Structure 1
Amino acid sequence: MRAYFSILVIGALFSSCFPKGKNVNEFNFYLPESKLHFTTSKVASGRFYVIISKLGNVNHMSDNVDYIECKVEDQILVIALDPNDKNRIYFKYPYIKKINKKHLDLIEMSPDAFKKKFYHIGSGTSPDTLKSQYRQLLIAPMSYHIIFQRDSIVDHQEVLKNGDM
C-alpha cells in the first residue's frame, strides 16, 4: 500500500511539472524600438497566439493580457508598430479568431487599409516599401518563422526565429 501511494505521489508530481501537451512551441522576444515584449505560442489544436505586453514576458494566457488568437494557416500575420505611438498595434491576417484588448489598442485592418497606411505604393515593377516611421513583424504561423523589419532595406531585417513546423 505504501509503495502504491509513493508511485501515485511521484506520478502526480511529474505530471504537474510537464506541459499538458497543448503547446507545440513557445517563443519570447523583446523589441526595444517599441518597448514591447512578445510571446508567441503555436498550439497543437491549430491555434497561434501572439501575447503582447509592456511589462515583461507573459507566458500564460488569461483575459488580463493583450493577445491575438488566430488559426494556423499558410499566410503571413503582419504586425505594424509605430515607435512614436507605442500603445497602438496594427495587424492584418485573414484568420483572426479573437482579439483580447486590455492595456494596448490592438487594431485589425483590412489589407487595403493596411497597405495605404504603412506602405509607399510601388509603381510598375517596383515593390511597395514600408514607410520610414513604421516597423513591422512578419510572422508565419504555419512555419513559425518570425522576422522584424525596421524599414524596406533587406539588410535591416532581423530573423528573430527560424521556423520549425
Structure 2
Amino acid sequence: MRQTENPLLAQVPLTVSPFITLPKAPTLPHNYASLPSTLPPSILNPDTDDPSAPPAYVTSGTGFRAHPSAIIAQNKALREQLDTAASDARTKVRDWRAAIDERELAEKRRKAPGWLDSDAKILRPATTVPLPDTKPGASLLDAEDNNTDALRPQESGNDMGSQMDRAFG
C-alpha cells in the first residue's frame, strides 16, 4: 500500500470472496469505429426561428416536441381558461335562479296582490258568535246530559250543517 492513502484504510484487511467478481474491460467488436470529429446537429433543437429558445426534448408519440416550461405555460393558460369558464357558468346559474325566483314572486303577487308587499302576515280566524245555551269558555263536550238539544239533529238538513259549523268553529 502507498503511504498517500488513508492510514485507517490501510489497517483494514482485505478478503477475497468467490461470489464477487471485479469488472473487466469490455472487448470491442471488429467493426468498431471511433466517433467523427464533427457531430450532426442535435435533434433537440430542430429548425426553429429562435435559436435562443430552450431545446424541446419532451416528445410525444405523434411527433410533437416541446420544452417543459412551454408545457407548463400551456397548462397554466388552460387552467385560467377553465377557471374563467367555471366562474362564468356559476354567474349564469345564479342569474338564472334569480330570474326564476323573480318570476315566482311575480306570479304570487299576481294571485294575491298586496299580500307579499305588506309586513302584516298574521292570519286570524273569523270570530264566531257563541251558542246561546253555552258559556263562552265552555266546550260542547262538557255539556250536561239534560242540555243536549244543541247536539240533536233537527228536521232540516241546513240546521245540521249550521250546528256542525257552530260545533267545530
Q: Same fold (TM over 0.5)?
A: no
Question: What's the TM-score, normalizing by structure 2?
Answer: 0.23
Greater helix content: 2
Question: What's the TM-score, normalizing by structure 1?
Answer: 0.23
| Higher RCO (C-alpha under 8 Å, 6+ residues apart) | 1
Greater strand content: 1
Which structure has the bigger radius of gyration? 2
